Amino acid sequence: MLLTLPNILSPDDLARARALLADAPWQDGRESAGPQARTVKNNQQLPHDSAAATAIRQMVLGGLNRSALFFSAALPMRIFTPRINRYGGETNTYGNHVDNAIRLKATDGGATEYVRTDVSCTVFLNDPDDYEGGELTVSDTYGTRGVKLPAGHAVLYPGTSLHQVTPVTRGHRMACFLWVQSMVRSDEQRRLLYELDMNLLALRQRHGETAETTALTGTYHNLLRMWAET
Ligand code: NI
């Protein structure tokens, strides 16, 4: 499932992010890529511990935390430390690849934990008008789709998908990127839960709470209980 999450970042967040990114310490993006991805990855990213990365990461995690849509679609259990990347100039593309299934994350307490990359999320930090190219292209069982969203919007897509960022031929594309380990490992089961949840919401808005919405809410939670790991 490919899903747009509008306005994860506010205009204030975006203005702050723009100021932080203006003189940020960009470095070679290949440093964090696996062996296959390394051969096609050609972008820049911020060091995890830089001031700009730390501040933008907080904004993004805060925005996702407030998003009911994100919770319903991703059912997050763990989130890998969000990364901030830039495409443009000589380092302008990330060819077709699949992300490593498991990432090792350093926790705040200094320990490490594994994060399974069930769901990928890209939060766009600048507007499509700022650059040419730079389309996120995602191929899954439903075919191939290109995504380019306004600043502050995010897209969720399955970690299982083959994806790429096409070459940026003018300007720079900046985005924050993260992986989610979901409580529900299967993309198919997660999609069914999301659809049930969204349709229940719409039914409730149209008719108020009814015996049927109450019963179907029970069905939702019983499916979640059956499928979720915590
Ligand atoms: Ni990737």
CA of 202 to the centre of ligand 1 (A): 33
CA of 51 to the centre of ligand 1 (A): 24
CA of 208 to the centre of ligand 1 (A): 42
CA of 39 to the centre of ligand 1 (A): 12
pLDDT digits (tens, 9 = 90+) for 47-103: 999 999 999 999 999 999 999 999 999 999 999 999 999 999 999 999 999 999 999
Does 223 score more than 90 pLDDT? yes
Long-range contacts of 190-194 (CB under 8 A, 24+ apart): 190/1, 190/73, 190/74, 190/75, 190/118, 190/119, 191/1, 192/223, 193/72, 193/75, 193/220, 193/223, 193/224, 193/227, 194/1, 194/3, 194/72, 194/73
CA of 178 to the centre of ligand 1 (A): 10
Does 32 score more than 80 pLDDT? no
CA of 226 to the centre of ligand 1 (A): 30
CA of 88 to the centre of ligand 1 (A): 17
pLDDT, mean over the chain: 95
Does 34 score more than 80 pLDDT? no
CA of 129 to the centre of ligand 1 (A): 23
Structure token pair of residue 69: 């849509």
CA of 93 to the centre of ligand 1 (A): 11
3-182 is a CATH 2.60.120.620 domain: yes
- Which pLDDT value is given to residue 31? 79
Structure token pair of residue 26: 């960009």
Compute the average pLDDT of residues 41-49: 94
Query: What is the value of pTM for the model shown?
Result: 0.95
End-to-end Cα spacing for the chain: 22
- Which pLDDT value is given to residue 110? 87
- Which pLDDT value is given to residue 124? 98
- Which pLDDT value is given to residue 1? 87
Who surrounds ion ligand 1 at CB < 5 A?
99
CA of 163 to the centre of ligand 1 (A): 6
CA of 85 to the centre of ligand 1 (A): 12
- Which pLDDT value is given to residue 175? 98
What band does 227 get if pLDDT is binned at 50, 70 and 90? very high
CA of 99 to the centre of ligand 1 (A): 5
CA of 96 to the centre of ligand 1 (A): 8
Does 152 score more than 90 pLDDT? yes
- Which pLDDT value is given to residue 212? 97
- Which pLDDT value is given to residue 131? 98
Alpha-carbon distance of 152 to 146, in angstroms, equals: 18
Does 218 score more than 80 pLDDT? yes
pLDDT digits (tens, 9 = 90+) for 176-217: 999 999 999 999 999 999 999 999 999 999 999 999 999 999
pLDDT digits (tens, 9 = 90+) for 100-146: 999 999 988 889 999 999 999 999 999 999 999 999 999 988 899 99
